[in-house]
Structure 1
């Protein structure tokens, strides 16, 4: 049969209704997997291309989702976006990306602008400069929403995170096993559950190894890189730690810079490890021991959760998905 390839033609060749074909193409829970596979296979064989304008009018959907993140330059988020886009493409959706630059007011402004029907759902990793639970508790009632990486734990929503507490405990133990007894902590995301979990894992590991915790060995991240470098230099001068544990990758360059300025040898005088998905971590001198989060997989899972909501599936599923991070040992903590 020749001619235009549309839903009607697919239905005729498969001897099923137009409605069934339409639902199968949209991965509806009402259609069996066997029928979906038949429809998808024929659609691919005949190079069927949907008419997005007509489809959107019929379904009252935009076929677009939004991703709201703190900073696309952060390697973690760029990988997470790739994971999200892979799933969105499978559903024929477009992805809009918004950067908040860690500004909660900008985050709220972006999100509110999307409530007029511009998108079908939102994936968000919240900014760190303000605890904004009340805003999101209200938002979740208005639009399909999934949190990933940076979340509010007590909100009833899908959340895709990593094992921040356990991997921080394990990383601290690695430093202790390397002979470190005075481990300083470079603290980021201190207002968010992820940051608090990382800090608690570090503290609990010290306690488990009968090592004392000191507030003097904790530095909180600032937006000014020069201030971070100076704060780390003062930490070295006043407290003489033998290791640095950085909870965010933004501390990496300041830490290496401070060591260079003070002529401290890594890992001889000071061992360093950090949460980071930087591809260049292995190229630093010395190469950096990192806690690598499964960023692509986090984005992938978060997108799957959002499409469960959009397709009215997965009701009753566990909404808390926790993936495992990996400690990659390199020269900065001694091999």
Structure 2
């Protein structure tokens, strides 16, 4: 599918390119009736203004977009470093967008990326994302897209992830081997593939061990503002978990704060393990056991694939799926009882 440009609009309406351009800019030289016709056609054909058209006739924008759900997460900071390490060697700028875990923001960002501002997109989807429509539009406009960490599984393109199912299994077995019999999995989403895969691994480990369904807790902490209160309520319940798996590192702080507030000892009363790349994990009180994802390597690999798609239009990104394993790092937060 070719891009709809001003020439297409001009031919359709049998007007000059200059008239179309002025109408789109709401020029006083153009009648209201003509402006209305131009805008209606532009909307119907999904025309997207391209402020970079003149420069792009001769060369690429030399910019890639990186769409992130947040940057407070240390994982994404490290991933950006990996992406930047490749972009610099290619002479490219990196334009970072934040969806703040909102699909509406992500949709607006991806619409902006269709304008010619960027030559390719690296994306880790928001926790609200359930549709790949905007990414399909990018692909239709020959803008390559690569997923890293969080993916939309319905889209056929390259992706670089970690072994989420196996890590969910490893985290659960680690707690079970340390004596936990009522472990809980704290997830930030009911739809994100990374969370679903980690949950499936968690459930498989508990089923294999024979943990009753009543003691298999999966808790969705989807609201950042109320996460602390929610975790505190869980820890005060009659069926309080004796082990917690945090699906992402932003859950760690409210868990530690709630335990401190309630005078719950980690690891004697509850053991804690998190999917995290926190630099501070070894110096927390107690030091935090983590499933540590290779964030830098994931970002670097994703950028490498994206540039292959940018530099060679015949390169088939849909055949590229890299899985870079994460590592369990044991620390005091899951120490077995003496």
TM category, shorter: 0.7 to 0.9
State the Cα distance separating 1:278 from its structure 2 match: 1.0
Q: CA deviation digits over 1:280-328, x for unaligned, max 9?
A: 1111100111111110001001101111111116437841111101111
In structure 2, how many angstroms separate the alpha carbons of the residues matched to 1:215 and 1:192?
Answer: 23
Tell me which residue corresponds to 2:189.
Answer: 189
In structure 1, how many angstroms separate the alpha carbons of the residues matched to 2:95 and 2:64?
Answer: 6
Tell me which residue corresponds to 1:325.
Answer: 326
Tell me which residue corresponds to 2:83.
Answer: 84
1:100 aligns with 2:99: yes
1:281 aligns with 2:277: no
Tell me which residue corresponds to 2:71.
Answer: 72
Q: Secondary structure at the match of 1:116?
A: helix
Q: CA deviation digits over 1:139-166, x for unaligned, max 9?
A: 3222111111110123110011110000
State the Cα distance separating 1:222 from its structure 2 match: 3.2
Tell me which residue corresponds to 1:203.
Answer: 203
Tell me which residue corresponds to 1:25.
Answer: none
Tell me which residue corresponds to 2:256.
Answer: 256
- TM-score normalized by structure 2? 0.78
State the Cα distance separating 1:189 from its structure 2 match: 3.0
Report the CA distance shift for 1:74/1:329 in structure 2 as closer, same or farther (over 3 A).
same
In structure 2, how many angstroms separate the alpha carbons of the residues matched to 1:257 and 1:316?
Answer: 43
Q: Secondary structure at the match of 2:66?
A: strand
1:274-313, aligned counterparts within 5 Å? 274-312=274-312
Tell me which residue corresponds to 2:180.
Answer: 180
Where do 4+ consecutive residues of structure 1 move more than 6 Å?
Answer: none
Report the CA distance shift for 1:224/1:307 in structure 2 as closer, same or farther (over 3 A).
closer
Q: Secondary structure at the match of 2:280?
A: helix
Q: CA deviation digits over 1:123-153, x for unaligned, max 9?
A: 1111112312233233322211111111012
1:164 aligns with 2:125: no
In structure 1, how many angstroms separate the alpha carbons of the residues matched to 2:261 and 2:77?
Answer: 31
Unaligned stretches of 5+ in structure 2? 1-54
Aligned length: 279
In structure 2, how many angstroms separate the alpha carbons of the residues matched to 1:326 and 1:242?
Answer: 23
